[in-house]
Structure 1
């Protein structure tokens, strides 16, 4: 195979790959892509955020109440076994310690998710309120312009008759 032929095949393969890579579209099966607007955009409401936060908080509490139940008894058993000279005691102590550490990490993650959903809900509520206020002020501004301009598409009488240079009507 000649070098030129290799380069040509490589560029053709790159073209085929680049024409099929579309990160913001979904292939519908027939080679046609559907953009985000065709099937709808991702939407998350305040209720959705609240549910996620509530579930994370419930899991956080349940992990503390139910996930730690074996830790004290395992630590006691490990101490008793080690005191009697069994090597199993130190192994059980290691397992109990690691379980408690991992449980703490998982609880921290649940607490973080719960807190994040609460903060996100508050931030978006503030954003929604701000956008609503701005949109209503734009509507008021548009209404003011509409009153002065008359009918849509019509000539504003403030500027006088067409063709007169002084701008007066009469």
Structure 2
């Protein structure tokens, strides 16, 4: 993926818009051969920059977490007030979730950077590492009720 496309995706994500990613691919081999293309090249710098970009998201997430904490500071004692108790419960839930997002960015960014530095892992090994991140950071059940069935 070209760097400018990556920057565009990050900008759209920051604006809260959903986007679909299109991966460029080589046309199917008409001759029936299944070997890798001699034209296939991987740029270590791109992998490292992508990893640095994902790891860099932690700073913005940290700012959001601080703002969330500052907004919560004046709540005080929640005894006797159901809405305040619910708000405190919601805050605790989001604090954990946003903290997990920050950790996930750090781990994913590190994985991308490491993959770029050495490019020694097989595709399967990188996929295994990504699958482990999926399991580690699997979303939890919704607090306060059940999510609607689709």
Larger radius of gyration: 1
Normalized per residue, the structure richer in helix is 1
